Amino acid sequence: MTTNHALSAAFLFTCLAAALMFADDVTAAEQPLVTTPRATSGDTVVEPKWEQRLTVTVGPEKADLIGTSDRVLQAAVDYVARLGGGTVRVLPGTYRMRNAVYLQSKTRIVGSGADSVLIKESSVTTKLAADTDWYDQEITLTDAAGFEVGDGIALFAKDKPKAGRTVVKRTLVARSGSRFKLDRAPRENFWQIGEAKVSTLFPLLSGENVSDIVIENLTLDGNRAKNENLDGNYAGCIFLQDCNRITIHGVTARNYNGDGISWQICHDVAVENCASLNNAGLGLHPGSGSQRPVIRNNRIEENDIGIFFCWGVKYGLAEKNHLIGNRVGISIGHRDTDNLVCHNEILHSKSVGVLFRPERGKDFAGHRNRIEHNRIMDSGDEKGIAIDVQGATESIVITGNEIIETREPAQRSAVRLGKETRDIKLLNNTIKGFAAQTDK
């Protein structure tokens, strides 16, 4: 190599090293903090802390919007949403619901606790008198008594090729006799050969593809005795689908012929200091694909299942809840991984306290969950099981729990481990009153 070439190579090497050092310095620098925030068009991250925000009151009297129906509640939600968000304050009263209140982003709906009651009207059901194809936007009813324009409805039909049923929710928006127009086409077929029918069924509060919502201090009553069943994949006292950053605080969800509170593919949902009582389905239902749910300090009583981790619920926390008299206290299954269940009271479950469902094999089971420092007492019948780990579930830690049976030992077991389970750690648990501490 000539002297000139050597000098050129050395020069290039020095420049490259300097450039790399400069790049490292830029990467390491911290972005300046916003110290004087201003409201700027399109900026949804930085916002001043305003002393007063838009609030609209709803109530039977002395309110901005006067009334006691779902329509006046919806009008208030739509008004504050149109202006970029705000609070709907639901004054004391009983509000009769013929349709859901559809929540919108950046809104807060706040009641007066036990004095603000949203109750579902009794459901009516009838068969369709004519076929509705997936592209039609109307239905014809066999008996239209009890149906009104503005009602929320659910359409049902048997899907014989799939051995299941089709369910679609819509609103009735126009009428001629027994023919009703829908707000949207069903996009499914509802044919008489599929025993198509329609019921006035809907969630009391519903959110779809919305975010940054707070629901506080409301009492929601599903009027279970006078309504047909609509399961938690479609409804509940509160039903959310494809939502983000939802806070539910101080809400009572009771007597729904389905779930208390259900959220499907919703992320960063927090349910705290709520009560879910006497619902036919699931008390709290973090649904398929929901990430990072927080379920804390709730009272969950007399439901079918207290807390039901559905499919693929991950990185969730269930802490300091009181689960009493549910058929199953807490259920974990299909790809529900990396969740922490701790410091809960799970009492008097009619079947089992904590259940890990068997699913369809190892690839589908709920792995890497922790059950820590819970109090589980008096689970099931004379063959009851406090913690039942089924299927090919792996890598579960069960530690520091107080597992108690105050009745006769009979054939009861504290923990049952299925034959295909692997790496189930039982550490420092206090177990009393059982015929068997561990059943394998």
Both 352 and 388 in one domain: the answer is yes
Alpha helices (H) along 2-158: 3-28, 70-82
Both 275 and 222 in one domain: the answer is yes
Q: Residue 45: what pLDDT?
A: 86
Both 135 and 169 in one domain: the answer is yes
CA–CA distance, 420 with 413 (Å, rounded to integer): 18
| Distances in whole angstroms, Cα of residue 87 to Cα of each of 56, 109, 381 | 6, 6, 47
User: CATH number of the domain that 402 lies in?
Assistant: 2.160.20.10
- What is the mean pLDDT of the segment spanning 248-275? 98
Q: Give the domain-ending residue among 142, 171, 199.
A: 199
As a residue count, the chain comes to 440
Domain for residue 146, yes or no? yes
Both 276 and 155 in one domain: the answer is no
Burial class for 312, CB neighbours closer than 10 Å (0-12, 13-18, 19+): middle
Q: Residue 28: what pLDDT?
A: 76
Q: Give the domain-ending residue among 199, 214, 246.
A: 199
Both 193 and 315 in one domain: the answer is no
Q: Is the pTM of this model over 0.95?
A: no
Q: What digits encode the pLDDT tens for the residues 344-378?
A: 999 999 999 999 999 999 999 999 999 999 999 99
- What is the mean pLDDT of the segment spanning 207-218? 98
Strands (E), 297-439: 299-301, 305-308, 317-319, 322-324, 328-332, 340-342, 345-347, 352-356, 370-372, 375-377, 385-389, 394-399, 402-404, 413-417, 422-427, 430-432, 436-439
pLDDT band at 7 (very low <50, low <70, confident <90, very high): very low
Both 306 and 257 in one domain: the answer is yes
- Average pLDDT taken over every residue of the chain: 94
Both 227 and 288 in one domain: the answer is yes
Q: Residue 10: what pLDDT?
A: 52
Tell me which DSSP letter residue 363 carries: G
Query: For residue 2, is pLDDT > 70?
Result: no
Domain for residue 37, yes or no? no
Domain for residue 39, yes or no? no
Q: CB-based contacts of 330: which residues, under 8 Å, 6+ apart? A: 305, 306, 307, 308, 309, 318, 323, 341, 344, 346, 353, 354, 355
Domain count, the chain: 2
Q: What digits encode the pLDDT tens for the residues 392-428?
A: 999 999 999 999 999 999 999 999 999 999 999 999 9
CA–CA distance, 309 with 335 (Å, rounded to integer): 10
Name the residue type at position 16: L
Both 299 and 336 in one domain: the answer is yes
Domain for residue 190, yes or no? yes
Domain for residue 10, yes or no? no
Q: Give the domain-ending residue among 179, 199, 219.
A: 199
Strands 152-159 and 164-176, bridge-based pairing: antiparallel
Domain for residue 267, yes or no? yes
Both 111 and 222 in one domain: the answer is yes
Q: Residue 79: what pLDDT?
A: 98
User: CATH number of the domain that 152 lies in?
Assistant: 2.40.30
Domain membership of residue 389 as a residue range: 55-121+202-439
Both 435 and 357 in one domain: the answer is yes
Q: CB-based contacts of 149: which residues, under 8 Å, 6+ apart? A: 172, 173, 174, 175, 180
Both 207 and 324 in one domain: the answer is yes
Contact 285, 310 (CB under 8 A): yes
Domain for residue 302, yes or no? yes
Tell me which DSSP letter residue 53 carries: -
Both 216 and 93 in one domain: the answer is yes
Contact 284, 276 (CB under 8 A): yes
Contact 131, 191 (CB under 8 A): yes
Domain for residue 278, yes or no? yes
Q: Residue 361: what pLDDT?
A: 95
